[in-house]
Amino acid sequence: MRAGLPISLGLHAAVLWGGSIAFSNAKPLEEGQIVPVTLVSIADVTDIRAAIEPPKVKPEPAMEPEPEEPMQVLTAADNAAEEADETRIAPDEESVPEPVVPPEAEPDDEVEPEPEKVVEAKPVFDLDRISTLIDKRKDVSTTANTQQATEADEERLVYADRAREGIGTGTKMTVSELNALQTAMYRCWRMPADAADLELLVVRLQVDMLPGGFVRDVKVIDRAAQRRRAPGNAFWDVAEMRAVQAVTKCAPYDFLPEEKFDQWESLILNFRPKL
Amino acid sequence: MTRIFLTVLAASASFATLGLATPASAQIEVDITQGNIDPVPIAVPDFIGTDPQTAELGRQIADVIRADLERSGLFRALDPASFLETQTDIDYEPTFADWRIIKADALASGRIVRDGPDKVRVEFRLWDVFAGKQLKGIRFSTSNENWRRTAHKASDAIYTALTGEEGYFDSRIVFVDQRGPKTNRTKRLAVMDSDGHNPQYLLGGSDLVISPRFDPASQTVTYMSYETLPAQVYMLDINTGRRERLGSFPGMTFAPRFSPDGSQLILTMVKDGNSDLYAMDLRSRSTKRLTTDPGIDVSGSYSPDGKRIVFQSDRGGTPQLYTMNANGSGAKRISFGDGRFNSPVWSPRGDKIAFVRQNKGKFAIGVMDPDGKNMRILTDDWSVDMPSWSPNGRVIIFTKETRGTNGKSELWSVDLTGRNLKRIDTPGQATDPAWSALLE
Amino acid sequence: MTVIKKTFAMSAAVLVLAACATKPVPEPEVVERPAPQPEIFVQQEPEPAPPQVIAPPTIQPPTIDPNAPIPGSVEDFAFQSGGEPRVFFGYDRYQLSNDARDTLRRQANWLNSYPEFTAIVEGHADERGTREYNLALGARRADSVKAFLVSQGVSPDRLTTVSYGKERPIDGRSSEAGWSRNRNGFTNLRAFGQS
């Protein structure tokens, strides 16, 4: 699909290199010499698998090594995530200093309304609005156009933040059940504690579960919009990597009540580091 | 503490993006705000060799990498005895499950290939164990003797891939080796690798030397010496050994430090007993006076863009930190906490200023923003001094002295979190450490 | 290089007066430095009234003592300075105490009698300060000493100053007793032509 990016010694984006090629073994090495050190070329680092669709009845990874197709061992987030966002990452990475969308267009306060101080007591569930969002997002997902993507994502952020006001409404999951999830995450999530502007590095994950609390799929969503919170921050890749790792490491989530599977089968987890 | 936000998103608003056949029902959204800050567990097996010699080299290199990563405080190098898989070829994917069982987040495996009588090729791959993918693959060609630097370079690559910032392992530290009791000390300029290995003297020990500092190219060291009186500032090329006194001023000159582009030196000069800051242009050797007040102005340090200078002054009654423009204008005080503030150094990243605070009989190493906000003390002790930043602005190395007639000085480092305090082993006593840039 | 050790006998008979100048001036420990007085070093030496009545007469008599060093020798200079040509300072201070002035007056007197000598005035600090700040503080102390000697008629050309900060302590103890000795100005005498 995509060839590896040419990379210089100082480039921080190691995490997200590479495209998806079916075989994993033949990854060329980055060339480096000590005296004098010259990095000649860059690896086309193969990613593990194409992952056109998530393996349906995949059991917990650690239990099944799957020797003949090692790249599928993981329930892996990574591929799906990359697949979805691939086209968006590249521009993000390369045009680091420049936000893709003219920043004046949307003042920040609109992007990130503090949930605490929303004036309207009730979240607005406006169907028209939602369908607009859906339409836009459809466009976005099929195009590489980052600008549209961020725009749509951003609206969605606004929406999500408003919706957040509706805490507890209409859900049958109890607070303690969700607390258990957070406790588990505390154990598995290594915050990128040394990152600059840590609190801006919010990573949104879509997590799909299997019965028994196994992770079927995890992927970064709304990446472009999130990254606009701290454009050019060198720690985004690591923040995303750590969040995805946390979800994978904590599985199985067998403490989640079986009878409410329909509710946690698909979750959105927002990793919002607070020191 | 942790907050929970439950969000019921109507219908398939989010699924549209995912393109997945997720059952359309209400979707729960949870905020995770608290994670741990434990070191990242990493497995670094001994690098594979093709013959006994390269196998031995592979063990040594892996040792150095493990030690580097551990010392940073951000990693925990897992005990090789716990490893379940023994890889025989790094070009095949590891059995990730085996590494997940021993709770490794990452795996760095490498090999050494002989490339000639005196040349080897060091290759390694870094794997994200949980995502099951390669994060990095690098090959170095090097001579046998350079294996330590190769190992440090590998450590830097791993550090960068897993933390998002540049490493600092392939760098050097210039310092003053110190011998003898307090009342009869000899001091000698020396240099070593960032992990304390390969210490080498740079000068004989006949003259008192103080405060060596690297230039941005890590080739030249400026320092103060009592070789002639009054003591003056010198420059020494550490490769050629060429030494040069920077002017012969009637008053003592000291506390030299290079500007970030290496073209200027900021130093303190004494005139009629009063210390003021001067900038010296290294090409023309002309000096420009930057401060003129009757207080002690000392310990100047440039911001990484070269536009500002932080220094210490007692113009207000006690030693405090001030910043000013590089031409000496616009001085303003930035330290306002309790105690006396000394020895400021601007971080190479630009975001922090390290300093020494003296308060209630103790000395402390701390950091603050360039505007003086967010002051934090990282470590304190009976006596600490001479902070210097790692090239990536994440670690501070400094001198610690113990009290009493047999007091000794040692080098220690602490990271920006203050949690990772480590002693750096030196052949004898050591003081006045200064970090180089990352080596080319 | 002639650092005078206090090796010669402290003959009680002779040193009645001198000894009081030798003592590391047990000055009260000042915790915060008083606001700096900009013009400090040179001019403010118009002798505050109480120049102890004893001071001036002390200068001549000791030469008669049999244990006294040969007049005009380096040892004699130390002897005349009260055992060792050092004056002591309070914590973070560089102003001269009355005792220090007495000592320096005797040093000036001696230097005025033996013009073939020059001196390097060294400023020293205790370990309760950072290295670079202490270099600056030592420079102030050295200058205070030099300025006073000059005010007593010694030609400034004969005096150079240098600061050792906290690098050359004479007392290794980490206590006020040690620190008070390490905060000093030392008049390091050089015979003409000596470097």
Q: What is the distance in angstroms between the Cα of A169 and the nearest Cα belonging to chain B?
A: 8
Question: What total number of domains does chain B contain?
Answer: 3
C149: domain CATH number is 3.30.1330.60
**Helix A77-94 crosses helix A236-250 at what angle (to 10 degrees)?**
170
Alpha-carbon dihedral sign for residues B110, B115, B116, B120: negative
CA atoms of B184 and B175, how far apart (whole Å):
19
Closest CA to C145 of C125, C165, C122, C126: C122
Residue A223 lies inside a defined structural domain of this protein: yes
Torsion region of B156: left, alpha or beta (phi above 0 gives left; psi -120 to 50 gives alpha)? alpha
Question: What total number of domains does chain A contain?
Answer: 2
* A83 pLDDT more than 50: no
Residue A85 lies inside a defined structural domain of this protein: no
Residue A4 lies inside a defined structural domain of this protein: yes
Q: Looking at beta carbons, which pairs linking B394-397 to residues 24 or more positions away fall under 8 Å?
A: B394/A194, B394/B165, B394/B168, B394/B349, B395/B72, B395/B168, B395/B420, B396/B354, B396/B365, B396/B367, B397/B173, B397/B424, B397/B433, B397/B435
- Tens-place pLDDT, residues A192-205: 877 878 899 999 99
* C27 pLDDT more than 60: no
Q: Are residues A125 and A25 in the same domain?
A: no
**Residue ranges making up the domain that contains A152:** 103-271
Per-residue pLDDT averaged across A40-48, rounded?
A: 28
Q: Are residues B99 and B215 in the same domain?
A: no
Q: Report chain C's mean pLDDT, rounded to a whole number.
A: 75
B190, B176 in Cβ contact below 8 A? yes
Residue A78 lies inside a defined structural domain of this protein: no
B166, B391 in Cβ contact below 8 A? yes
Across the interface, do A84 and B18 touch by the CB < 8 Å criterion? yes
Using a CB–CB cutoff of 8 Å, tell me whether B118 touches chain A. Answer: no
B295: domain CATH number is 2.120.10.30
Q: Report chain A's mean pLDDT, rounded to a whole number.
A: 57
Amino acid at the residue B273: G
Q: Are residues B333 and B368 in the same domain?
A: yes
Residue B440 lies inside a defined structural domain of this protein: no
Residue A54 lies inside a defined structural domain of this protein: no
* Strand B40-43 relative to strand A214-221, pairing: unpaired
User: What pLDDT is attached to residue A125?
Assistant: 37
User: What pLDDT is attached to residue A196?
Assistant: 79
User: What pLDDT is attached to residue A203?
Assistant: 96
Closest CA to B417 of A191, A177, C68, A239: A191
User: What pLDDT is attached to residue B275?
Assistant: 97
Residue A34 lies inside a defined structural domain of this protein: yes
Q: Are residues A178 and A112 in the same domain?
A: yes
User: What pLDDT is attached to residue B118?
Assistant: 86
Q: Do chains B and C touch (3 or more CB pairs under 8 A)?
A: yes
Q: Which residue of B has its CA nearest to C144?
A: B273
The 8-class DSSP code of residue C47 comes to: -
User: What pLDDT is attached to residue A140?
Assistant: 33
Sequential DSSP letters for B196-243 = S-S-EE-S-SSS-EEEEEE-TTSSEEEEEE-SSSS-EEEEEETTT--E
Spatial strand order in the sheet of B287-289: B253-258, B264-271, B274-281, B287-289
Across the interface, do B405 and C172 touch by the CB < 8 Å criterion? yes
Closest CA to C161 of C125, C192, C133, C119: C119
Using a CB–CB cutoff of 8 Å, tell me whether A71 touches chain B. Answer: yes
Residue B388 lies inside a defined structural domain of this protein: yes
Across the interface, do C162 and B252 touch by the CB < 8 Å criterion? yes
If one compares B158 and C15, the residue with the highest pLDDT of the two is B158
Return the minimum-mean-pLDDT range out of A48-57, B212-221, C92-101. Answer: A48-57
Amino acid at the residue B262: G
Residue A62 lies inside a defined structural domain of this protein: no
Smallest Cβ–Cβ distance between B28 and the set A160, A173, A244 belongs to A173
Q: Residue A16, Cα to own-chain centre: how many angstroms?
A: 12
* A62 pLDDT more than 70: no
* A2 pLDDT more than 80: no
The neighbouring-strand residues paired with A218 are A207
User: What pLDDT is attached to residue B294?
Assistant: 93
User: What pLDDT is attached to residue C194?
Assistant: 54
Q: Are residues B178 and B141 in the same domain?
A: no
The 8-class DSSP code of residue C61 comes to: G
User: What pLDDT is attached to residue C169?
Assistant: 96
Per-residue pLDDT averaged across A57-72, rounded?
A: 35
Q: Which residue of B has its CA nearest to A62?
A: B97
- Tens-place pLDDT, residues C133-182: 999 999 999 999 999 999 999 999 999 999 999 999 999 999 999 999 99
Q: Which residue of B has its CA nearest to A236?
A: B164
Residue A172 lies inside a defined structural domain of this protein: yes
Spatial strand order in the sheet of B332-333: B297-302, B308-313, B320-325, B332-333
Per-residue pLDDT averaged across C52-73, rounded?
A: 59
**3-state DSSP assignment of residue A139:** helix
Per-residue pLDDT averaged across C12-36, rounded?
A: 39
Q: Are residues A39 and A136 in the same domain?
A: no
User: What pLDDT is attached to residue B116?
Assistant: 86
Q: What is the distance in angstroms between the Cα of C129 and the nearest Cα belonging to chain B?
A: 8
Smallest Cβ–Cβ distance between B32 and the set A141, A185, A262 belongs to A185
Chain B residues close to A29, C-beta within 8 Å = 123, 125, 137-139
User: What pLDDT is attached to residue B96?
Assistant: 93
The tokens for B30 are: 């949870």
Q: Are residues B73 and B216 in the same domain?
A: no
Q: Are residues A3 and A120 in the same domain?
A: no
Q: What is the distance in angstroms between the Cα of C72 and the nearest Cα belonging to chain B?
A: 25
Q: Are residues B31 and B93 in the same domain?
A: no
Q: Are residues B385 and B399 in the same domain?
A: yes
- Tens-place pLDDT, residues C82-92: 888 999 999 99
Identify the band that residue A47 occupies on the pLDDT scale cut at 50, 70 and 90. very low
ipTM field: 0.90
B150: domain CATH number is 3.40.50.10070
At which residue do the structure tokens 């023309």 appear?
Answer: B284
Identify the band that residue C10 occupies on the pLDDT scale cut at 50, 70 and 90. very low
**Residue ranges making up the domain that contains B97:** 40-163
Identify the band that residue A275 occupies on the pLDDT scale cut at 50, 70 and 90. confident
Question: What total number of domains does chain C contain?
Answer: 1
Q: Are residues A24 and A112 in the same domain?
A: no
Residue C13 lies inside a defined structural domain of this protein: no
Q: Are residues B264 and B290 in the same domain?
A: yes
User: What pLDDT is attached to residue A32?
Assistant: 56
In this structure, the number of other CB atoms found within 10 A of the CB of residue C163 comes to 31
Chain B residues close to C156, C-beta within 8 Å = none
* Strand B172-179 relative to strand B340-346, pairing: unpaired
With contact defined as 3+ CB pairs under 8 Å, the chains touching B are A, C
The tokens for C45 are: 């030496």
Across the interface, do B211 and C132 touch by the CB < 8 Å criterion? yes
- Tens-place pLDDT, residues A102-159: 334 333 333 343 333 333 333 333 333 433 333 333 333 333 344 444 444 444 444 4
Chain C residues close to B358, C-beta within 8 Å = 128-130
Residue C25 lies inside a defined structural domain of this protein: no
User: What pLDDT is attached to residue B313?
Assistant: 97
Q: What is the distance in angstroms between the Cα of B206 and the nearest Cα belonging to chain A?
A: 34
Q: Are residues B182 and B148 in the same domain?
A: no
Percent over 70 (pLDDT), chain B: 94
User: What pLDDT is attached to residue A27?
Assistant: 61
Q: Write down how long chain A is.
A: 275
Mean pLDDT by 10 residues, chain B (440 residues): 38 34 62 91 95 94 96 94 90 91 94 90 93 91 90 96 93 95 93 94 91 96 94 95 91 97 97 96 95 96 98 96 97 95 97 96 96 96 97 96 93 92 94 95
Q: Which residue of C has its CA nearest to B356?
A: C130
Interface test with B, best of A34, A42, A88, A241 (most B CBs within 10 A): A34
CA atoms of A74 and B131, how far apart (whole Å):
6
At which residue do the structure tokens 């040692």 appear?
Answer: B410
User: What pLDDT is attached to residue A96?
Assistant: 35
Residue C114 lies inside a defined structural domain of this protein: yes
CA atoms of B157 and B126, how far apart (whole Å):
9
Q: Are residues B178 and B158 in the same domain?
A: no
Residue C48 lies inside a defined structural domain of this protein: no
Per-residue pLDDT averaged across C45-62, rounded?
A: 42
